[in-house]
C-alpha cells in the first residue's frame, strides 16, 4: 500500500502553497502549536474549505456540499438529532448494504463502528466543512419533523394570521404557484405549511397597509414596512415580495419594539437557538453554561430560557446568593446550608417547570442530579475551567459557551460535553 500523502504535499501538488508557505507554517507551529493545516489558515495562505478539501484528498474521500432537500430522510432517521450533533455526522443515503455518511473528519472510528453495528451496512464516508455539516443536520431534522405532520386542512388567511400571532412566529409568508397558494410559518425552528382557501388575495389587500397591489406594481421585487391587522390587533411587519412567471413569494417578518432584555443581550445566533430547541424537543436539553469572563455567566443565566426558547416555557431560576433575577422567570433563593439543597430541590419538583436555570456554588456533586430532575430543560452555571465530572455523571451532555467583554458583541458556541 502506498504511503498516505501529507496535507502539505497535497496542497503543493494543487499549486496552493509554496516552499516558503511551508516554512512559515512550520515556524508558526513551533511558536503556537496545533496542526500544520491550522497554521496555514492562521497565516492566511489557505481557507478552511481548502483545508477540508485537502483532508478529503489525503484520505481518498469525496468532498461534498450536501443539499438538505436531496437527502434520504429514511437514512437520517437511523440516528437521533443528539447523536448527529454530538458527532457532527449524518447518514444521507442508504443503498442496499451501503450507508453513505457525511462528516467533517475522517478520524471518527467509534462513530463509524457504531453505525456499522447499528445498520449492518458498509459505511461510505464523504467530507464537508464543519459548518456545512452542522447546518445540514439542523435543516434535515427540521424537515423530518415537519414531514411527520398531517398535511392539515386548508385555512383562510385570517385564520392563518391568527396562528402566527399565537405562536409568535419569527417569519411567515405566502407561496403562490399558478392557482395554488400555501401559507407557511416558522414555529420552533420548523417550517409548517397549510393550503390557503377563500378569497385570500382580497383578505391580504385588506389586512396589509400599504397593500401588496400598492407597492408591487413597478417590478418583480419589492420591500417595504407595513402594518398587518387582524381582528383589531395590529403588528408591524417587514414585507419582501418576489414574483416571476411561475407565481409569487411573499415574506413577512414581524418587527417588534426592542425590550430591555434584547437591549442587554442581543439574540444568540439562529443556528445555536435552532440546536437548543431541537435538543429541547428531543428531551436531551441538559447544558452547563460557561463564559469568558466568568462573571458574565451569572449575569446572563436567568435570561437564557427567554433568549433560547420563548416566554411560553415556564422557567425557574435557582440561586444561593442575593442576585437579580429576571422578569420572565420565577426566582428562588436557596438556604445558606448546601446540605439542605437536595431536599429543597426535590420539594420544587412537584411544580413541573419546563426549564430550570441553576446558579449554585460547589462542584455539583450534591445538587446537579436533583436540579436535572426538576425540568426537561436545564442550564447549570459551571465555572470556566472547572471539573465537569459531576455534571456528566448527572446526565449533562452539552456545554453552552459565551464569550465577550461587551454584551453587545457576544460569541456563542454549543459543544458536546466529553469526559
Closest alpha carbon to 136 in 108, 97, 101 = 101
- Determine how many CB atoms are found less than 10 A away from the CB of residue 241: 20
pLDDT, position 362: 67
Please indicate, yes or no, whether residues 246 and 281 belong to a single structural domain of this protein.
Answer: no
Cα–Cα distance, 25 to 16 (Å, whole number): 13
Q: Is residue 23 part of a domain?
A: yes
Which residue is it, cell 443556528?
A: 271
E strand segments, 305-394: 315-319, 330-333, 355-359, 377-381
Q: Is residue 114 part of a domain?
A: yes
Please indicate, yes or no, whether residues 268 and 408 belong to a single structural domain of this protein.
Answer: yes
- 361-364 LR contacts (CB < 8 Å, sep 24+): 361/320, 362/338, 363/387, 363/390, 364/390, 364/391, 364/394
Please indicate, yes or no, whether residues 267 and 407 belong to a single structural domain of this protein.
Answer: yes
Q: Is residue 179 part of a domain?
A: yes
Please indicate, yes or no, whether residues 306 and 348 belong to a single structural domain of this protein.
Answer: yes
pLDDT of residue 214 exceeding 80:
yes
pLDDT of residue 168 exceeding 70:
yes
Q: How far apart are the first and last CA of the chain?
A: 36
C-alpha cell read off for 40: 496555514
Closest alpha carbon to 185 in 168, 169, 167 = 169
Give DSSP secondary structure letters for 292-322. Answer: ESTHHHHHHGGGHHHHHS-TTS-EEEEESS-
Average pLDDT over residues 68-82: 84
Read off the CATH number of the domain in which 183 is found.
Answer: 3.30.450.90
Q: Which residues pair with 103 in a beta bridge?
A: 89, 127
pLDDT, position 1: 40
Please indicate, yes or no, whether residues 210 and 282 belong to a single structural domain of this protein.
Answer: no
Number of domains in the chain: 4
Cα dihedral 329, 335, 338, 340, rounded to 10, equals -100
Give DSSP secondary structure letters for 315-347. Answer: EEEEESS-----TTSEEEEPPS-GGGHHHHHHH
Cα–Cα distance, 18 to 14 (Å, whole number): 10
Q: Is residue 270 part of a domain?
A: yes
C-alpha cell read off for 203: 383578505
Please indicate, yes or no, whether residues 276 and 354 belong to a single structural domain of this protein.
Answer: yes
Specify the pTM. Answer: 0.55
- DSSP secondary structure code for residue 101 in this structure: E
Q: Is residue 97 part of a domain?
A: yes
pLDDT of residue 419 exceeding 70:
no
Please indicate, yes or no, whether residues 77 and 43 belong to a single structural domain of this protein.
Answer: no
Read off the CATH number of the domain in which 142 is found.
Answer: 3.30.300.160
Which residue is it, cell 417595504?
A: 224
- Which residue, of 254, 271, 289, is where some domain finishes? 254
Q: Is residue 323 part of a domain?
A: yes
Please indicate, yes or no, whether residues 307 and 264 belong to a single structural domain of this protein.
Answer: yes
Please indicate, yes or no, whether residues 130 and 21 belong to a single structural domain of this protein.
Answer: no
pLDDT of residue 49 exceeding 60:
yes
Please indicate, yes or no, whether residues 293 and 402 belong to a single structural domain of this protein.
Answer: yes
pLDDT of residue 31 exceeding 70:
yes
What percent of the chain lies above the pLDDT cut of 70? Answer: 86
pLDDT of residue 150 exceeding 50:
no
Q: 3-class DSSP state for residue 207?
A: helix
Average pLDDT over residues 107-121: 91
Strand 286-292 relative to strand 398-403, pairing: parallel
pLDDT, position 114: 92
Which of 51-60, 156-165, 189-198, 373-382 is predicted with the least confidence, judged by mean pLDDT?
Answer: 51-60
Which residue is it, cell 463509524?
A: 112
Cα–Cα distance, 316 to 293 (Å, whole number): 24
Q: Is residue 152 part of a domain?
A: no
Q: How far is CA 44 from the centre of its chain?
A: 29
E strand segments, 352-397: 355-359, 377-381
- Determine how many CB atoms are found less than 10 A away from the CB of residue 273: 20
Strand 180-187 relative to strand 190-195, pairing: antiparallel
What percent of the chain lies above the pLDDT cut of 90? Answer: 14
pLDDT band (50, 70, 90) for residue 261: low
Q: Is residue 63 part of a domain?
A: no
Q: Which domain holds residue 116?
A: 68-147
pLDDT per residue as tens digits for the range 279-324: 888 777 899 999 888 888 878 888 888 888 877 788 889 887 766 5
Q: How many angstroms separate the Cα of 286 from the Cα of each of 193, 364, 378, 380, 397?
A: 30, 14, 5, 8, 6
Q: 114 vs 166, which has greater pLDDT?
A: 114
Q: Which residues pair with 380 in a beta bridge?
A: 288, 358
Read off the CATH number of the domain in which 331 is found.
Answer: 3.40.50.300
Please indicate, yes or no, whether residues 339 and 397 belong to a single structural domain of this protein.
Answer: yes
Please indicate, yes or no, whether residues 134 and 173 belong to a single structural domain of this protein.
Answer: no
pLDDT per residue as tens digits for the range 317-354: 988 776 655 566 778 888 878 888 888 888 888 888 88
Strand 89-95 relative to strand 98-103, pairing: antiparallel
Which residue is it, cell 434535515?
A: 140
pLDDT of residue 400 exceeding 90:
yes
Amino acid at each position: 500500500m502506498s504511503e498516505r500523502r501529507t496535507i502539505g504535499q497535497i496542497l503543493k501538488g494543487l499549486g496552493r502553497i509554496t516552499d516558503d508557505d511551508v516554512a512559515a507554517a512550520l515556524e508558526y507551529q513551533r511558536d503556537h502549536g496545533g496542526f500544520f493545516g491550522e497554521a496555514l489558515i492562521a497565516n492566511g495562505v489557505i481557507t478552511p474549505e481548502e483545508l477540508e478539501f485537502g483532508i478529503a484528498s489525503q484520505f481518498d474521500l469525496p468532498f461534498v456540499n450536501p443539499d438538505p432537500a436531496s437527502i434520504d430522510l429514511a437514512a437520517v432517521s437511523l440516528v437521533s438529532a443528539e447523536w448527529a450533533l454530538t458527532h457532527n455526522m449524518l447518514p444521507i443515503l442508504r443503498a442496499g448494504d451501503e450507508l453513505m455518511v457525511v462528516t467533517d473528519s475522517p478520524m471518527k472510528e467509534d462513530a463509524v463502528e457504531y453505525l456499522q453495528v447499528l445498520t449492518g451496512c458498509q459505511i461510505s464516508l464523504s467530507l464537508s466543512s464543519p459548518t456545512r455539516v452542522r447546518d445540514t443536520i439542523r435543516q434535515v431534522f427540521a424537515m423530518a419533523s415537519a414531514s411527520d405532520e398531517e398535511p392539515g386542512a386548508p385555512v383562510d388567511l385570517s385564520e392563518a394570521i391568527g396562528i402566527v400571532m399565537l405562536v409568535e412566529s419569527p417569519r411567515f409568508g405566502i407561496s403562490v404557484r399558478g392557482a395554488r397558494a400555501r401559507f407557511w410559518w416558522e414555529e420552533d425552528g420548523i417550517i409548517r405549511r397549510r393550503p390557503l382557501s377563500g378569497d385570500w388575495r382580497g383578505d391580504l389587500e385588506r389586512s396589509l397597509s400599504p397593500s401588496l397591489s400598492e407597492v408591487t406594481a413597478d417590478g418583480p421585487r419589492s420591500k417595504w414596512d407595513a402594518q398587518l391587522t387582524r381582528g383589531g390587533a395590529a403588528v408591524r411587519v417587514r414585507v419582501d415580495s418576489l414574483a416571476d412567471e411561475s407565481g409569487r413569494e411573499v415574506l413577512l417578518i414581524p418587527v417588534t419594539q426592542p425590550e430591555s432584555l434584547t437591549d442587554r443581550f442581543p439574540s444568540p445566533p439562529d443556528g445555536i437557538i435552532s440546536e437548543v430547541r431541537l435538543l429541547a424537543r428531543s428531551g436531551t436539553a441538559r447544558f452547563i453554561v460557561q463564559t469568558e469572563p466568568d462573571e458574565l455567566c451569572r449575569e446572563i443565566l436567568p435570561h437564557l430560557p427567554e433568549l433560547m426558547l420563548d416566554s411560553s416555557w415556564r422557567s425557574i431560576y435557582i440561586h444561593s446568593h442575593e442576585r437579580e433575577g429576571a422578569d420572565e422567570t420565577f426566582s428562588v433563593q436557596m438556604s445558606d446550608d448546601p446540605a439542605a439543597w437536595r431536599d429543597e430541590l426535590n420539594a420544587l419538583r412537584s411544580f413541573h417547570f419546563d426549564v430550570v436555570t441553576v446558579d449554585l456554588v460547589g462542584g455539583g456533586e450534591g445538587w446537579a442530579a436533583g436540579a436535572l430532575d426538576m425540568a426537561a430543560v436545564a442550564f447549570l452555571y459551571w465555572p470556566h475551567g472547572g471539573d465537569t465530572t459531576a455534571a456528566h455523571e448527572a446526565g449533562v451532555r452539552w456545554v453552552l459557551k459565551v464569550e465577550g467583554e461587551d454584551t453587545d458583541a457576544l460569541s456563542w458556541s454549543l459543544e458536546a460535553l466529553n469526559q
